[in-house]
Amino acid sequence: MLPNANSYEFGILMSIMYCVWTHSVSGRLKSDIQYSNGIVYNNFPWPENPSDKQKQAVEQAAQAVLDARAQFPDSSLADLYDPNTMPPVLVKAHQALDRGVDLCYRSQPFTSDSKRMEYLFELYDKYTAGLFAKEKKGKKK
């Protein structure tokens, strides 16, 4: 739960960018993801300096996802996100959201999830550079 979260933050967390991060760094129990805010959310490399225009695009796309969901009031999230029956309007809304989020990270959308992961880990390295103390090499005996 994110108290006082806004549409931009919702959009980032609903994007494929966050999903690929989650699938990559989460723990597993059998094939189920074991989500931990300390490992997944707290370490997620948010976009560096998105412009107001980029943030607005994500906010609008996030609202479109919510609007698409609202068209199906009798469906659960599990129903809406079943890959075999996901409503086309929701698929399109998420595609637009993913493009908007991608553009917060760089000027061109990503071509694959593996490219997203490479970029996220590079950004994570950049954000954490210098945070960890280097081990001192001891004298050999």
| Alpha-carbon span 76 to 83, nearest angstrom | 14
For the chain, what's the residue count? 141
Q: Which has the minimum average pLDDT: 32-36, 45-49, 80-84, 123-127?
A: 32-36
Q: What is the pLDDT of residue 81?
A: 96
Separation of first and last alpha carbons in the chain = 52
Cα separation values, 3 from 6, 40, 74, Å? 9, 18, 27
pLDDT tens, 26-65? 877 777 777 777 777 788 999 999 999 999 999 999 999 9
Q: What is the pLDDT of residue 38?
A: 73
Domain boundaries along the sequence of the chain: 7-109
